[in-house]
């Protein structure tokens, strides 16, 4: 049953969200088009020709920030369907929206530099005009040809004519176009929930929470769009387009309505709206919780009215991968096969499940015919509706289950006891060691040193003999390199596993402290973009760390070596930048501990066989709590050339210090030059100054590594990544983005990037 929501309901929902900045007397001759020289001020609006949509300024009533938006003109509460400057709010006074003399759309106020709205598709002539259409689309034309449109850069609302999908499929980095929620009902800044099509199946629509897949919500089949929710406005009217360059779904209005649209709310809800004759209908869909059940008493999954499944339902193991036509829900918090099966068994909508060590429990929804269409590798389990069986058969199954469970529990108890004894022995042996600087025995984990926060750790404890054999007695031929901690050797364990062995040098001043810090930090972390610590050796005067071996060694050995630079193409460089960003995002936001690395540099980025980056060397890292993201030290540690100005000069460090170091690496990856290099005829500019000069002059392509100059993809994206790097190395820490902000900007071509301010250390 469709829920009819009138203007009063809309008023209740959005009553405190924002204030429209309109004068009591609107423009008597409302226009739908602006041209160079025309300025839309706070008391002005553009109105589409048919009076359907309106463009103007609105204010977040909580923060007071001002935004440029588009909303339905005749609805009681004008919640914007598109926002031009969601990440760059304006000041209340002197905010305006206009076409600049060079033909480009900008939003600005009296303080900040103009924010470019049509970023990525710039005008090359001043002969441009911007028109608001009755579809809600704002288009920028140059000499009569559309060069940019707001429909290609949606915010949280999908209007008819908008597309969800993937573009530039043949490029180095395909562009995903989707919806991104508001941060809150009051704040249009980027939120955490997004909606789009999946890369492997662009007919399927899914919801993500941050970068983590939350659940599939529907798929376009030959007979229409299959929505995972039981109730919907008739059916989503979607059409599908596929070419070698792009694949996308286009939303069309549902039959019987003047207009229908979809909104991803800041809470992750999917809201369907339909407008007919002045009446607004709303259907709200709450996403499923971890068990696949409905949330907030809303029917979540289709055909889920009955939770009482027939007694005796079983699951049959099937070799292969689930067909893409089935809808998937990843329940990563379920880390046990039996719990995964039970969750699916008690939800009759669940047709199949799979349990994977790396991603947990997966529940699949669809028909039996969907489940039968499988291929490829893997194993999943399909529901098999049991026929009535004899009671004796049930008793026999019960007896077998009890017997097997008893045996399993006995074996498990033995294994747990053995592991406990081994762990106790290992930790006891590792806690008391001899300090190589003093002839005393110390407890390395009990210290008041602020560099270390933590307790004993359950790591594999290697004997010196084992590591000597693995490295051929630390043979110089196996030496991979040497840092402040000591030399690093390649080794091979008896199992055949290759390892990297870092041995504390007796000359290392901070070695023991770094050793404690490294073990304290990295042993608790697990991420694909962090190097994995396999174990350690603390025996006599030996302090040794054992890591996974990275076959391609460190990033600096590629990007700064002229003989290897050509091996790292643009796509790989972007992959490396994004991988480092994901690792830093994990350290700053999502790990069990919040980590500031403090020594991020190209030589501390290791590369595996697939050129995937892994952050290493946590000897200088600091652990901080939720409210301790800033600190000060009198002992400056790290590498000059990568240090932020506030850290190098005053000893102040924070997440933004790491962001500065990361920005240096981004610029080094793009250019193939070290930050300590100097440029221009008088050698007055370092790498940051050179990047800043070229970017200001619109010559970002010249900043590219010489091996990339002929790469069309690199040339097309040079300005974006140079700008991202410059945003990270701005003088003031407060001006730099945090890692979530960087990841969001790098992954979304629809983002209108802020203009960077002058970087640090220009002279």
pLDDT in tens, 323-357: 776 777 666 556 678 878 887 876 666 788 988 87
Query: Which CATH number belongs to the domain containing residue 376 in this structure?
Result: 3.50.4.10
Higher per-residue pLDDT: 509 or 596: 596
Query: Which CATH number belongs to the domain containing residue 220 in this structure?
Result: 2.90.10
> Is the residue at 306 inside a domain?
no
Please identify, among 384, 400, 421, the residue that sits at the C-terminal boundary of a domain.
384
Query: Which CATH number belongs to the domain containing residue 517 in this structure?
Result: 3.30.200.20
Q: Are residues 161 and 149 in the same domain?
A: no
**DSSP secondary structure code for residue 577 in this structure:** H
> What does residue 209 show for φ and ψ, rounded to 5 degrees?
-110, 110
> What does residue 442 show for φ and ψ, rounded to 5 degrees?
-125, 160
Structural domain of 345? 314-384
- pLDDT digits over 367-385, tens only? 677 777 777 677 888 987 6
Q: Are residues 454 and 494 in the same domain?
A: yes
With 70 as the cut, is the pLDDT of residue 88 above it?
Answer: yes
Q: Are residues 539 and 648 in the same domain?
A: no
CB-facing half-sphere around the CA of 252: CA atoms within 13 A: 12
Q: Are residues 158 and 227 in the same domain?
A: yes
Here the tokens at position 686 are 């370092």
Q: If pLDDT is split at 50, 70 and 90, which confidence band does 536 have?
A: confident
- pLDDT digits over 260-282, tens only? 899 999 888 888 888 888 788 88
With 60 as the cut, is the pLDDT of residue 443 above it?
Answer: no
The catalytic residue among 32, 286, 599, 658 is 599
Instruction: For the chain, give the percent of residues with pLDDT over 70.
Output: 72
What are the beta bridge partners of residue 383? Answer: 315
Candidate ranges 228-242, 342-356, 511-525, 706-720; pick with highest mean pLDDT: 706-720
Q: Are residues 60 and 196 in the same domain?
A: no
> Is the residue at 760 inside a domain?
no
Query: Which CATH number belongs to the domain containing residue 146 in this structure?
Result: 2.90.10.10
Go through 286-309 and write b for each residue having 16 or more CB atoms within 10 A of its CB, e for each that does not.
bbbeebbebeeebebbbebeeeeb
pLDDT, the chain, mean: 77
Q: Are residues 20 and 145 in the same domain?
A: yes
Here the tokens at position 501 are 């062995």
> What does residue 198 show for φ and ψ, rounded to 5 degrees?
-80, 150
> Is the residue at 536 inside a domain?
yes
- Catalogue the long-range contacts made by 646-653 (C-beta closer than 8 Å, 24 or more residues apart): 646/733, 647/598, 653/596, 653/598, 653/622
- pLDDT digits over 538-575, tens only? 877 788 999 999 999 999 999 999 889 989 999 999 99
Check: CB of residue 424 under 8 Å from CB of residue 497: no
For the beta sheet containing 175-177, the strands, ordered from the edge strand earlier in sequence to the opposite edge, are: 175-177, 163-167, 246-252, 237-242
- For helices 570-585 and 712-728, the axis angle rounded to 10 degrees is 30
> What does residue 487 show for φ and ψ, rounded to 5 degrees?
-75, 155
What stretch of H or E contains 623?
strand 622-624
With 50 as the cut, is the pLDDT of residue 691 above it?
Answer: yes
> Is the residue at 398 inside a domain?
no
Q: Are residues 356 and 368 in the same domain?
A: yes
Number of domains in the chain: 5
Residues 141-155 have a mean pLDDT of: 94
- The reported pLDDT for the residue numbered 230 is 55
Q: Are residues 534 and 501 in the same domain?
A: yes
Distance CA 648, CA 657 (A): 10
> Is the residue at 399 inside a domain?
no
What are the Cα distances from residue 1, in Å, to 208, 233, 299?
28, 9, 12
Go through 119-129 and write b for each residue having 16 or more CB atoms within 10 A of its CB, e for each that does not.
bbebbeeeebb
Higher per-residue pLDDT: 442 or 372: 372
Q: How far is CA 188 from the centre of its chain?
A: 19
Please identify, among 243, 271, 287, the residue that sits at the C-terminal boundary of a domain.
287
With 60 as the cut, is the pLDDT of residue 730 above it?
Answer: yes
Q: Are residues 584 and 720 in the same domain?
A: yes
Distance CA 281, CA 263 (A): 13
Distance CA 52, CA 573 (A): 45
Residue 334 sits at the vertex; the CA angle it makes with 332 and 337, to the nearest 5 degrees, is 115
What global pTM score does this model have?
0.47
Q: How far is CA 392 from the centre of its chain?
A: 54
Candidate ranges 108-112, 350-354, 630-634, 662-666; pick with highest mean pLDDT: 662-666
Burial class (CB in 10 A: 0-12, 13-18, 19+), 553: middle
> Is the residue at 450 inside a domain?
yes
> What does residue 565 show for φ and ψ, rounded to 5 degrees?
-60, -35
Q: Are residues 513 and 648 in the same domain?
A: no
Check: CB of residue 49 under 8 Å from CB of residue 23: no
Region of 241 (left: φ > 0; alpha: ψ -120 to 50; beta: rest) is beta
In 3D space, the residue among 271, 303, 274, 309 whose CA is nearest the CA of residue 287 turns out to be 271
Residues 655-664 have a mean pLDDT of: 94
- Catalogue the long-range contacts made by 6-15 (C-beta closer than 8 Å, 24 or more residues apart): 6/279, 6/280, 7/75, 7/76, 7/77, 7/280, 8/76, 9/282, 10/75, 10/76, 10/77, 10/79, 10/280, 11/76, 11/77, 13/77, 13/185, 14/77, 14/79, 14/185, 15/77
> What does residue 312 show for φ and ψ, rounded to 5 degrees?
100, 0
> Is the residue at 639 inside a domain?
yes
Distance CA 652, CA 193 (A): 34
In 3D space, the residue among 475, 468, 587 whose CA is nearest the CA of residue 539 turns out to be 468
Distance CA 460, CA 548 (A): 13
Distance CA 330, CA 501 (A): 37
Out of 187-191, 235-239, 525-529, 730-734, least confident range: 235-239
Integer-rounded Cα Rg, in Å, for the chain is: 30
Distance CA 131, CA 144 (A): 11
Please identify, among 153, 177, 196, the residue that sits at the C-terminal boundary of a domain.
153
- The reported pLDDT for the residue numbered 292 is 37
Question: Residue 416 CB: number of other CB atoms within 10 A?
Answer: 10
Q: Are residues 682 and 740 in the same domain?
A: yes
Q: Are residues 159 and 216 in the same domain?
A: yes
Active site residue 599: yes
> Is the residue at 421 inside a domain?
no
- For helices 570-585 and 739-747, the axis angle rounded to 10 degrees is 150
What are the Cα distances from residue 381, in Å, to 126, 174, 318, 344, 387?
62, 34, 6, 10, 18
In 3D space, the residue among 320, 318, 165 whose CA is nearest the CA of residue 246 turns out to be 165
What are the beta bridge partners of residue 242? Answer: 247
Distance CA 126, CA 103 (A): 4
Please report, in angstroms and rounded to a whole number, the separation of the first and last CA atoms in the chain.
68
Residue carrying structure tokens 């009296």: 110
- pLDDT digits over 472-507, tens only? 999 989 998 887 678 899 999 988 899 999 988 765
């Amino acid at each position: 049953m469709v829920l009819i929501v009138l203007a009063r309901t809309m008023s209740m929902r959005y009553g405190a969200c924002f204030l429209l900045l309109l004068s009591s007397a609107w423009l008597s001759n409302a226009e739908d088009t602006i041209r160079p020289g025309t300025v839309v001020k706070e008391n002005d609006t553009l109105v589409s020709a048919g009076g359907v949509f309106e463009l103007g300024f609105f204010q977040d009533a909580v923060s007071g920030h001002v935004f440029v938006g588009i909303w339905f003109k005749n609805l009681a509460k004008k919640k914007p369907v598109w926002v031009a400057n969601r990440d760059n709010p304006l000041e209340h006074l002197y905010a305006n929206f206009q076409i600049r003399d060079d033909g480009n759309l900008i939003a600005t106020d009296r303080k900040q530099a103009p924010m470019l709205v049509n970023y990525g598709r710039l005008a090359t002539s001043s002969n441009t005009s911007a028109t608001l259409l009755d579809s809600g689309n704002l288009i920028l034309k140059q000499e009569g040809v559309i060069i940019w449109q707001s429909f290609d850069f949606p915010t949280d609302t999908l209007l008819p004519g908008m597309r969800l999908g993937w573009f530039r499929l043949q490029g180095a980095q395909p562009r995903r176009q989707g919806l991104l929620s508001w941060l809150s009902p009051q704040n249009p800044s980027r939120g955490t929930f997004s909606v789009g099509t999946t890369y492997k199946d662009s007919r399927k629509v899914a919801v993500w929470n941050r970068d983590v897949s939350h659940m599939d919500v529907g798929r376009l089949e030959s007979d229409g769009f299959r929505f995972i929710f039981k109730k919907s406005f008739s059916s989503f009217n979607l059409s599908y387009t596929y070419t070698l360059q792009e694949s996308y779904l286009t939303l069309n209005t549902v039959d019987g309505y003047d207009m229908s649209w979809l909104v991803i709310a800041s809470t992750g809800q999917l809201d369907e709206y339909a407008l007919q004759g002045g009446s607004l209908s709303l259907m709200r869909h709450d996403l499923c919780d971890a068990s696949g059940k409905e949330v907030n008493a809303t029917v979540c999954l289709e055909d889920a009215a009955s939770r009482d499944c027939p007694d005796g339902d079983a699951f049959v193991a099937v070799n292969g991968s689930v067909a893409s036509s089935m809808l998937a829900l990843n329940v990563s918090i379920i880390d046990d096969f039996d719990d995964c099966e039970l969750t699916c068994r008690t939800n009759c909508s669940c047709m199949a499940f799979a349990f994977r060590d790396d991603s947990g429990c997966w529940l699949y929804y669809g028909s039996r015919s969907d489940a039968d269409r499988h291929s490829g590798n893997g194993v999943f389990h399909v529901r098999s509706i049991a026929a009535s069986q004899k009671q004796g058969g049930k008793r026999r199954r019960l007896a077998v289950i009890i017997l097997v469970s008893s045996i399993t529990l006995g074996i498990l108890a033995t294994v747990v006891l053995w592991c406990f004894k081994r762990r106790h022995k290992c930790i006891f042996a590792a806690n008391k060691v001899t300090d190589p600087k003093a002839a005393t025995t110390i407890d390395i984990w009990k210290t008041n040193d602020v560099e270390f926060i933590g307790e004993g750790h359950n790591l594999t404890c290697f004997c010196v003999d084992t590591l000597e054999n693995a490295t051929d007695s630390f043979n110089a031929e196996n030496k991979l390199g040497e840092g402040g901690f000591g030399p690093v050797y390649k080794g091979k364990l008896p199992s055949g596993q290759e390892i990297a062995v870092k041995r504390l040098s007796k000359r290392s001043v901070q070695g023991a402290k770094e050793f404690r810090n490294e073990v304290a930090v990295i042993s608790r972390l697990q991420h694909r973009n962090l190097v994995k610590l396999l174990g350690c050796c603390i025996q006599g005067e030996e302090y040794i760390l054992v890591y996974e071996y990275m076959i391609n060694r460190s990033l600096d050995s590629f990007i700064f070596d002229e003989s290897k630079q050509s091996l790292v193409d643009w796509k790989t460089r972007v992959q490396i930048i994004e991988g480092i960003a994901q690792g830093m995002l994990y350290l700053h936001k999502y790990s069990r501990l919040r980590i500031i690395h403090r020594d991020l540099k190209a030589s501390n980025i290791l590369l595996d066989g697939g050129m995937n980056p892994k952050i290493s060397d946590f000897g200088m890292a600091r652990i901080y709590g939720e409210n301790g993201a800033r600190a000060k030290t009198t002992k400056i540690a790290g590498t000059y050339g990568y240090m932020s100005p506030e850290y190098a000069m005053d000893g102040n460090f924070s997440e933004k210090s790491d962001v500065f170091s990361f920005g240096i690496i981004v610029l080094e990856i793009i250019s193939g030059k070290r930050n300590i290099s100097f440029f221009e005829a008088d050698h007055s500019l370092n790498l940051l100054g050179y990047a800043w000069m070229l970017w200001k002059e619109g010559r970002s392509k010249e900043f590219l590594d010489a091996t990339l100059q002929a790469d069309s993809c690199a040339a097309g994206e040079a300005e974006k990544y140079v700008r991202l790097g410059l945003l990270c190395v701005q003088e003031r820490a407060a001006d730099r983005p945090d890692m979530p902000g960087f990841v969001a900007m790098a992954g979304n071509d629809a983002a209108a990037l802020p203009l960077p301010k002058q970087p640090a250390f220009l002279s």
